[in-house]
Amino acid sequence: MSNNKKKILITGAAGFIGAALAKKLIKNNFDVVGVDNLNEYYDVKLKKDRLFEIKKTSINFPSNQWSFYSHSIEDTNKLLEVFNKERPNIVVNLAAQAGVRYSLSNPSSFTKTNVVGFGNILENCINYDIENLIYASSSSVYGGNQALPYRETQSVDHPVSLYAATKKANEMMAHTYSHNYQLPATGLRFFTVYGPWGRPDMAPILFAKAISRGEFINVNNYGNMKRDFTYIDDIIEGVYRCCLKPATSDENFNPFNPNPSSSYAPHRIFNIGSSNSIDLSYFIGLIEKYLEKKAKIKLCPLPKGDVVATNADSSSLNLWIGFKPTTKIEEGIQKFLKWFKEYYS
């Protein structure tokens, strides 16, 4: 697939998904601009090491440019400078304050980055004639809905965390701009992404570290949890293909019975998950197996803002881009732990 040497701006470029996407795009003949404020929500060294990996990739593909700006998307003037200087064709917004539980104690950081910051992204997309916007939503938008598997046609009117509420707000904001300015925008609801270079505040690294050290791991809802774990390479392939296919209006859209995932405007929403809901006990067992150590388990109640189970129906995305995740949890955990042992020695 030819891209005629387009330039893609990735916000959250030092993040787990952002860094992996930057490397994929550089290898596929795109010029890439990264923006990330390198905040201290989790280990800044890990973020800098991811940026170093992007730099190494760019050295191996010298005809494709890589540039990076350490800015926050909520900084209106700094973001404007980046758009004005770089003039990207495509924008992938992955910058966000993450962490469902963190949103309980630091709500203002979520509204600043996830709402105000995303508003800045949308304004710049309009002012600089961006031809395709892809933005990160989340499986958390399904909230209180317990009808599995989750489908994009279901209601997302009952979020149970502020993080989820900001992600639903992003979907509504993007649709408004698509309607008013014909901005092609695709929202991707990510389901529990894991793999090498993953976030240290999420279960895979938290569990692997604790098991390695012989420390207790907190197992929520007394172990009765299921997650649709999705391997990073599958996520990146999905995002990459969306970069090549801007959203279009749905010619079958019925305003008297509206489909929440499509529109008369060029706006689409897709789940991106493995479509396999894995028992937390099985997930822990795989980590135990590959680390060759038993976990010390502390059973805990379900935290505020959390949900018991997730499971994605990703058939709409498969129809749209001709791709569905294929990495089995056993294979993905093995690759993740190989990296984990190398990185954390």
Using DSSP, state whether 176 is helix, strand or coil.
helix
For each of the domains in the chain, give its residue range(s) and CATH number, in order of start: 7-191+230-273+312-326 (3.40.50.720)
> From CA 212, how far away is CA 293, in angstroms rounded?
7
Kindly state the tokens that stand for 17: 């998904």
- Please tell me the predicted confidence (pLDDT) of residue 116: 97
Token pair listed for 273: 């998950």
Partnered with residue 309 across adjacent β-strands are 226
Model-wide pTM > 0.85:
yes
- Structure-block tokens of residue 104: 């309980």
- For tokens 């890990």, name the residue: 46
**Phi and psi torsions of 250, nearest 5°:** -90, 110
- According to the model, what pLDDT value does residue 286 have? 98
Length of the chain, in residues: 345
Question: Distance between CA atoms of 335 and 229, rounded to whole angstroms?
Answer: 14
CB 171 within 8 A of CB 187: yes
Six token digits for residue 202 = 């999420």
Q: Are strands 278-279 and 226-227 parallel, antiparallel or unpaired?
A: antiparallel
Q: Which of 177, 182, 193, 28 is nearest to 96 (CA)?
A: 193
> Which segments in the chain show pLDDT lower than 70?
1-3
Give the pair of three-digit tokens for residue 316. 């709409």
Q: Is 282 considered catalytic here?
A: no
Burial code (b: 16+ CB inside 10 Å, e: under 16) for 140-156 equals bbbbebeebbbbbeeeb
| Residue 102: per-residue pLDDT | 81
Specify the DSSP class assigned to residue 214: T
Q: How far is CA 20 from CA 54, 66, 267, 345, in A?
A: 8, 14, 25, 22
> CA-to-CA distance for 96 and 141, rounded, in angstroms?
15
| Candidates 102, 163, 194, 231; catalytic one | 163
Distance CA 331, CA 292 (A): 16
Those residues whose C-beta lies under 8 Å from the C-beta of residue 242, and which sit 6 or more positions away, are 134, 186, 188, 270, 320, 321
pLDDT in tens, 230-250: 999 999 999 999 999 999 999
With CA atoms as reference, report the closest residue to 261 among 312, 317, 182. 317
Q: For residues 85 and 17, what is the distance between their CA atoms, to the nearest angstrom?
A: 24
pLDDT of residue 103: 81
User: For the chain, where are the E strands, in sequence order?
Assistant: 7-11, 31-35, 66-69, 90-93, 132-138, 185-190, 193-194, 216-219, 226-227, 230-231, 267-272, 278-279, 296-299
